[in-house]
Amino acid sequence: MASQLALKSRIASTSSLSKVFKAQEMIASAHIARAKALALSSKPYAEAVYSAARNLVSHVKDVDHPIFKRDEKNPKSAVFLVTADRGMAGAYNSNAIRKGEELMGEIEKKGKEPLLFTFGKRGEMYFGPRRKLEKSWGGHSDNPSSKQAEEIANALLSLFLNGGAGELYLVYTEFINLVSQKVRVLRLLPIELVKASGPAADPLYEFEPDAEDALDALLPRYIASRIFECLLSSAASETASRQNAMHAATENAKSLIKDLTVSLNKARQAQITQELTEIISSADALSKKK
Protein backbone atom coordinates (compact mmCIF):
# COMPACT_ATOMS: atom_id res chain seq x y z
CA MET A 1 0.00 0.00 0.00
CA ALA A 2 1.29 3.49 -0.89
CA SER A 3 2.46 5.72 1.93
CA GLN A 4 0.18 8.38 3.35
CA LEU A 5 2.49 11.12 2.07
CA ALA A 6 2.34 9.75 -1.47
CA LEU A 7 -1.44 9.42 -1.33
CA LYS A 8 -1.83 12.98 -0.04
CA SER A 9 0.39 14.23 -2.84
CA ARG A 10 -1.65 12.41 -5.49
CA ILE A 11 -4.91 13.72 -4.01
CA ALA A 12 -3.58 17.29 -4.08
CA SER A 13 -2.30 17.05 -7.67
CA THR A 14 -5.52 15.39 -8.89
CA SER A 15 -7.57 18.06 -7.17
CA SER A 16 -5.56 20.77 -8.96
CA LEU A 17 -6.08 19.05 -12.31
CA SER A 18 -9.79 18.72 -11.56
CA LYS A 19 -10.01 22.51 -11.14
CA VAL A 20 -8.28 23.02 -14.49
CA PHE A 21 -10.63 20.56 -16.20
CA LYS A 22 -13.66 22.23 -14.63
CA ALA A 23 -12.48 25.67 -15.75
CA GLN A 24 -11.97 24.44 -19.32
CA GLU A 25 -15.42 22.85 -19.28
CA MET A 26 -17.02 26.11 -18.11
CA ILE A 27 -15.19 28.13 -20.78
CA ALA A 28 -16.32 25.70 -23.49
CA SER A 29 -19.88 25.78 -22.14
CA ALA A 30 -19.88 29.57 -22.39
CA HIS A 31 -18.70 29.47 -26.02
CA ILE A 32 -20.70 26.53 -27.35
CA ALA A 33 -24.00 28.38 -27.84
CA ARG A 34 -22.43 31.00 -30.10
CA ALA A 35 -20.30 28.45 -31.97
CA LYS A 36 -23.35 26.23 -32.54
CA ALA A 37 -25.44 29.15 -33.81
CA LEU A 38 -22.73 30.28 -36.24
CA ALA A 39 -22.18 26.76 -37.56
CA LEU A 40 -25.86 26.09 -38.17
CA SER A 41 -26.59 29.53 -39.63
CA SER A 42 -23.74 29.37 -42.17
CA LYS A 43 -24.79 26.03 -43.66
CA PRO A 44 -27.91 27.19 -45.60
CA TYR A 45 -25.93 29.96 -47.33
CA ALA A 46 -23.10 27.62 -48.36
CA GLU A 47 -25.59 25.04 -49.61
CA ALA A 48 -27.44 27.72 -51.58
CA VAL A 49 -24.24 28.85 -53.32
CA TYR A 50 -23.37 25.23 -54.13
CA SER A 51 -26.89 24.59 -55.45
CA ALA A 52 -26.73 27.76 -57.55
CA ALA A 53 -23.54 26.61 -59.25
CA ARG A 54 -24.95 23.17 -60.06
CA ASN A 55 -28.28 24.56 -61.22
CA LEU A 56 -26.58 27.12 -63.39
CA VAL A 57 -24.62 24.59 -65.37
CA SER A 58 -27.58 22.22 -65.53
CA HIS A 59 -29.54 24.77 -67.53
CA VAL A 60 -26.93 25.96 -69.99
CA LYS A 61 -25.35 24.09 -72.85
CA ASP A 62 -21.71 23.47 -73.70
CA VAL A 63 -20.22 25.12 -70.62
CA ASP A 64 -16.49 24.52 -70.42
CA HIS A 65 -15.32 25.82 -67.05
CA PRO A 66 -12.59 24.67 -64.59
CA ILE A 67 -15.12 24.43 -61.77
CA PHE A 68 -16.53 21.29 -63.43
CA LYS A 69 -13.51 19.94 -65.33
CA ARG A 70 -11.71 16.97 -63.83
CA ASP A 71 -8.10 16.82 -64.99
CA GLU A 72 -7.26 13.14 -64.72
CA LYS A 73 -3.76 13.75 -66.07
CA ASN A 74 -2.82 16.16 -63.30
CA PRO A 75 -0.60 14.17 -60.88
CA LYS A 76 -1.40 16.27 -57.79
CA SER A 77 -4.36 16.56 -55.44
CA ALA A 78 -4.69 19.26 -52.78
CA VAL A 79 -5.89 18.29 -49.29
CA PHE A 80 -7.00 20.96 -46.80
CA LEU A 81 -7.15 19.52 -43.26
CA VAL A 82 -8.91 21.34 -40.41
CA THR A 83 -7.71 20.67 -36.85
CA ALA A 84 -7.57 22.67 -33.60
CA ASP A 85 -4.93 25.01 -32.24
CA ARG A 86 -5.17 23.46 -28.78
CA GLY A 87 -5.57 20.02 -27.29
CA MET A 88 -7.80 18.89 -24.40
CA ALA A 89 -10.60 18.19 -26.89
CA GLY A 90 -10.86 14.43 -26.64
CA ALA A 91 -10.47 12.60 -29.94
CA TYR A 92 -11.29 15.67 -32.05
CA ASN A 93 -7.77 16.20 -33.43
CA SER A 94 -6.76 12.55 -33.70
CA ASN A 95 -9.93 11.66 -35.66
CA ALA A 96 -9.37 14.49 -38.16
CA ILE A 97 -5.68 13.63 -38.56
CA ARG A 98 -6.49 9.94 -39.07
CA LYS A 99 -9.05 10.77 -41.77
CA GLY A 100 -6.53 13.06 -43.46
CA GLU A 101 -3.93 10.29 -43.48
CA GLU A 102 -6.46 7.84 -44.93
CA LEU A 103 -7.39 10.27 -47.71
CA MET A 104 -3.77 10.96 -48.63
CA GLY A 105 -3.10 7.22 -48.63
CA GLU A 106 -5.95 6.70 -51.10
CA ILE A 107 -4.61 9.50 -53.30
CA GLU A 108 -1.15 7.92 -53.31
CA LYS A 109 -2.61 4.53 -54.24
CA LYS A 110 -3.97 6.19 -57.37
CA GLY A 111 -0.43 7.23 -58.27
CA LYS A 112 -0.97 10.89 -57.39
CA GLU A 113 0.84 13.23 -55.03
CA PRO A 114 -1.15 14.82 -52.19
CA LEU A 115 -0.41 18.47 -51.44
CA LEU A 116 -1.19 19.08 -47.78
CA PHE A 117 -2.57 22.35 -46.39
CA THR A 118 -3.50 22.54 -42.71
CA PHE A 119 -5.62 24.77 -40.52
CA GLY A 120 -4.88 24.56 -36.80
CA LYS A 121 -1.59 24.11 -35.01
CA ARG A 122 -2.27 20.49 -34.04
CA GLY A 123 -2.32 19.39 -37.66
CA GLU A 124 0.82 21.39 -38.36
CA MET A 125 2.61 19.89 -35.34
CA TYR A 126 1.68 16.34 -36.33
CA PHE A 127 2.40 16.46 -40.05
CA GLY A 128 5.32 18.91 -39.92
CA PRO A 129 7.95 16.23 -39.17
CA ARG A 130 6.20 13.62 -41.37
CA ARG A 131 5.15 15.37 -44.58
CA LYS A 132 5.85 18.48 -46.56
CA LEU A 133 3.33 21.19 -45.71
CA GLU A 134 2.45 23.51 -48.58
CA LYS A 135 0.96 26.09 -46.22
CA SER A 136 -0.51 26.20 -42.74
CA TRP A 137 -2.92 28.58 -41.04
CA GLY A 138 -3.48 28.72 -37.27
CA GLY A 139 -4.35 30.79 -34.25
CA HIS A 140 -8.14 31.03 -34.61
CA SER A 141 -9.45 27.48 -34.85
CA ASP A 142 -12.19 28.06 -32.25
CA ASN A 143 -13.24 31.41 -33.75
CA PRO A 144 -12.47 31.55 -37.49
CA SER A 145 -13.23 34.69 -39.47
CA SER A 146 -14.65 35.19 -42.96
CA LYS A 147 -11.50 37.13 -43.87
CA GLN A 148 -9.35 34.14 -43.00
CA ALA A 149 -11.66 31.86 -45.00
CA GLU A 150 -11.28 34.16 -48.03
CA GLU A 151 -7.48 34.09 -47.69
CA ILE A 152 -7.50 30.29 -47.63
CA ALA A 153 -9.98 30.12 -50.51
CA ASN A 154 -7.85 32.44 -52.67
CA ALA A 155 -4.72 30.34 -52.07
CA LEU A 156 -6.42 27.03 -52.85
CA LEU A 157 -8.36 28.38 -55.82
CA SER A 158 -5.24 29.93 -57.32
CA LEU A 159 -3.46 26.58 -57.01
CA PHE A 160 -6.33 24.77 -58.75
CA LEU A 161 -6.85 27.27 -61.57
CA ASN A 162 -3.11 27.46 -62.32
CA GLY A 163 -2.88 23.70 -62.74
CA GLY A 164 -1.06 23.09 -59.45
CA ALA A 165 -3.64 20.47 -58.48
CA GLY A 166 -6.28 18.58 -60.40
CA GLU A 167 -8.69 18.28 -57.47
CA LEU A 168 -9.23 19.83 -54.08
CA TYR A 169 -10.40 17.98 -50.95
CA LEU A 170 -11.39 19.37 -47.57
CA VAL A 171 -11.24 17.28 -44.37
CA TYR A 172 -13.20 18.76 -41.48
CA THR A 173 -15.38 17.79 -38.52
CA GLU A 174 -19.08 18.32 -39.08
CA PHE A 175 -21.07 19.56 -36.09
CA ILE A 176 -24.22 17.45 -35.76
CA ASN A 177 -25.20 18.21 -32.15
CA LEU A 178 -23.56 18.73 -28.77
CA VAL A 179 -22.74 15.05 -28.33
CA SER A 180 -22.15 13.99 -31.92
CA GLN A 181 -19.53 15.24 -34.38
CA LYS A 182 -18.30 13.40 -37.47
CA VAL A 183 -15.20 13.82 -39.63
CA ARG A 184 -16.14 14.42 -43.26
CA VAL A 185 -14.26 14.50 -46.57
CA LEU A 186 -15.64 17.05 -49.03
CA ARG A 187 -14.43 17.38 -52.61
CA LEU A 188 -14.54 21.11 -53.25
CA LEU A 189 -13.23 21.05 -56.82
CA PRO A 190 -14.17 20.02 -59.36
CA ILE A 191 -17.87 20.07 -58.51
CA GLU A 192 -19.71 16.90 -59.39
CA LEU A 193 -21.72 17.68 -62.50
CA VAL A 194 -25.30 16.42 -62.74
CA LYS A 195 -27.00 17.43 -65.95
CA ALA A 196 -30.72 18.06 -65.86
CA SER A 197 -32.90 15.76 -67.94
CA GLY A 198 -36.34 16.06 -69.51
CA PRO A 199 -38.06 19.43 -69.76
CA ALA A 200 -35.69 20.91 -67.15
CA ALA A 201 -32.81 20.30 -69.53
CA ASP A 202 -33.95 23.19 -71.70
CA PRO A 203 -32.29 26.53 -70.90
CA LEU A 204 -34.30 28.44 -68.29
CA TYR A 205 -31.99 31.41 -67.84
CA GLU A 206 -30.40 34.11 -69.93
CA PHE A 207 -26.98 35.44 -68.96
CA GLU A 208 -25.28 38.73 -69.56
CA PRO A 209 -22.62 38.74 -70.76
CA ASP A 210 -22.53 34.89 -70.64
CA ALA A 211 -22.70 31.81 -68.39
CA GLU A 212 -18.93 31.46 -68.07
CA ASP A 213 -18.62 34.98 -66.67
CA ALA A 214 -21.35 34.13 -64.19
CA LEU A 215 -19.39 31.04 -63.13
CA ASP A 216 -16.20 33.09 -62.85
CA ALA A 217 -17.99 35.38 -60.40
CA LEU A 218 -19.62 32.50 -58.56
CA LEU A 219 -16.53 30.30 -58.14
CA PRO A 220 -14.63 32.40 -55.51
CA ARG A 221 -17.82 32.87 -53.52
CA TYR A 222 -18.54 29.15 -53.66
CA ILE A 223 -15.07 28.17 -52.40
CA ALA A 224 -14.97 30.86 -49.70
CA SER A 225 -18.47 30.06 -48.43
CA ARG A 226 -17.83 26.31 -48.29
CA ILE A 227 -14.52 26.76 -46.49
CA PHE A 228 -16.01 29.24 -44.02
CA GLU A 229 -18.93 26.90 -43.32
CA CYS A 230 -16.53 24.01 -42.67
CA LEU A 231 -14.33 26.14 -40.42
CA LEU A 232 -17.35 27.22 -38.37
CA SER A 233 -18.66 23.66 -38.17
CA SER A 234 -15.23 22.45 -37.06
CA ALA A 235 -15.01 25.24 -34.48
CA ALA A 236 -18.36 24.19 -33.00
CA SER A 237 -17.23 20.54 -33.04
CA GLU A 238 -13.97 21.47 -31.31
CA THR A 239 -15.78 23.40 -28.57
CA ALA A 240 -18.34 20.63 -28.05
CA SER A 241 -15.61 17.97 -27.97
CA ARG A 242 -13.63 20.00 -25.44
CA GLN A 243 -16.68 20.49 -23.25
CA ASN A 244 -17.48 16.77 -23.30
CA ALA A 245 -13.85 15.76 -22.76
CA MET A 246 -13.37 18.17 -19.85
CA HIS A 247 -16.62 17.06 -18.24
CA ALA A 248 -15.51 13.43 -18.45
CA ALA A 249 -12.05 14.35 -17.14
CA THR A 250 -13.58 16.24 -14.21
CA GLU A 251 -15.79 13.27 -13.29
CA ASN A 252 -12.85 10.88 -13.59
CA ALA A 253 -10.75 13.14 -11.36
CA LYS A 254 -13.51 13.20 -8.73
CA SER A 255 -13.74 9.40 -8.86
CA LEU A 256 -9.97 9.07 -8.54
CA ILE A 257 -9.88 11.46 -5.57
CA LYS A 258 -12.61 9.41 -3.89
CA ASP A 259 -10.64 6.17 -4.41
CA LEU A 260 -7.41 7.77 -3.20
CA THR A 261 -9.18 9.14 -0.12
CA VAL A 262 -10.44 5.64 0.71
CA SER A 263 -6.90 4.30 0.31
CA LEU A 264 -5.57 7.10 2.53
CA ASN A 265 -8.12 6.32 5.23
CA LYS A 266 -7.19 2.63 5.06
CA ALA A 267 -3.52 3.53 5.41
CA ARG A 268 -4.31 5.71 8.44
CA GLN A 269 -6.34 2.94 10.02
CA ALA A 270 -3.56 0.45 9.40
CA GLN A 271 -1.03 2.79 10.99
CA ILE A 272 -3.29 3.41 14.02
CA THR A 273 -3.87 -0.34 14.40
CA GLN A 274 -0.13 -0.97 14.24
CA GLU A 275 0.58 1.73 16.83
CA LEU A 276 -2.12 0.35 19.19
CA THR A 277 -0.70 -3.14 18.77
CA GLU A 278 2.79 -1.89 19.63
CA ILE A 279 1.47 -0.01 22.70
CA ILE A 280 -0.47 -3.05 23.95
CA SER A 281 2.52 -5.33 23.35
CA SER A 282 4.78 -2.94 25.26
CA ALA A 283 2.31 -2.74 28.15
CA ASP A 284 2.05 -6.54 28.31
CA ALA A 285 5.81 -6.84 28.33
CA LEU A 286 6.16 -4.32 31.21
CA SER A 287 3.44 -6.05 33.27
CA LYS A 288 5.16 -9.42 32.86
CA LYS A 289 8.50 -7.96 34.09
CA LYS A 290 6.79 -6.68 37.22
In a domain, 182, yes or no: yes
Classify residue 278: in a domain, yes or no: no
Give the domain extent around 231.
44-243
pLDDT digits (tens, 9 = 90+) for 46-58: 777 777 766 766 6
Q: What is the pLDDT of residue 72?
A: 73
Query: What distance in Å separates the CA atoms of residue 74 and residue 111, rounded to the nearest whole number?
Result: 11
Q: Which residue has the higher pLDDT, 204 or 102?
A: 102
Is residue 246 within 8 Å of residue 184, measured between CB atoms? Answer: no
Kindly state whether residue 173 falls inside one of the protein's structural domains.
yes
Give SS3 for 165: coil
**pLDDT(276) > 60:** yes
Q: Kindly compute the dihedral angle of the four CA atoms of residues 206, 49, 113, 183, in this order, to the nearest 10 degrees.
A: -160
What total number of domains does the chain contain?
1
pLDDT of residue 81: 96
Residue 172 lies in a domain: yes
Look at residue 25 and tell me if it is in a domain: no
For 176-232, what is each residue's pLDDT tens digit?
A: 888 889 999 998 888 765 555 544 444 556 666 676 777 777 788 888 888 999 999
Q: 22-79: per-residue pLDDT in tens?
A: 888 787 777 778 887 877 777 787 777 777 766 766 666 566 666 776 677 889 999 9
Q: DSSP state, 143?
A: S
Q: How high is the pLDDT of residue 11?
A: 86
Query: What is the C-alpha to C-alpha distance for residues 261 and 259, in angstroms, rounded to an integer?
Result: 5
Provide φ and ψ at 200, rounded to 5°. -70, -15
Global pTM value: 0.79
Domain of 233: which CATH number? Answer: 3.40.1380.10
Radius of gyration of the chain (CA): 29
287 φ, ψ to 5°?
-65, -35
Per the domain annotation, does 28 fall within a domain? Answer: no
